[in-house]
Amino acid sequence: MIARRWSLGLAVAAGCLSFVLFLAATQRADVVVMSRDIDVPRPLTRDDVEVRAVSAELAPPDAAQRIDDVIGLTPRAPLVRGQLVLTRAVA
């Protein structure tokens, strides 16, 4: 009887741990990415960028999170479609 309760307690604890790990692994962060290639640096417009949700672990701390933060800024180098827009890469 004691072994059965201990096994049940262990199973519940393992389930809780699995749930916490799942939540940690699936956290998302919104980041601004390029929606098209920009070969010649010029001020960014709303048509150039979009927001995507990526794994929070993959989002660099200096990734732009809102489109309004980058509109009108000029990239320091060419940017390609799908590339994250980093705040240090635009001025």
Summarize pLDDT for 26-61 with one digit per residue, the tens: 789 999 999 999 998 899 999 999 999 998 888 999
**This prediction's pTM:** 0.72
DSSP 8-state class, residue 58? T
d(CA 58, CA 41): 26
As given in the structure block, the two tokens for residue 58 are 């993959």
pLDDT of residue 52: 96
Domain annotation for the chain: domains and CATH numbers: 28-89 (3.90.1210.10)
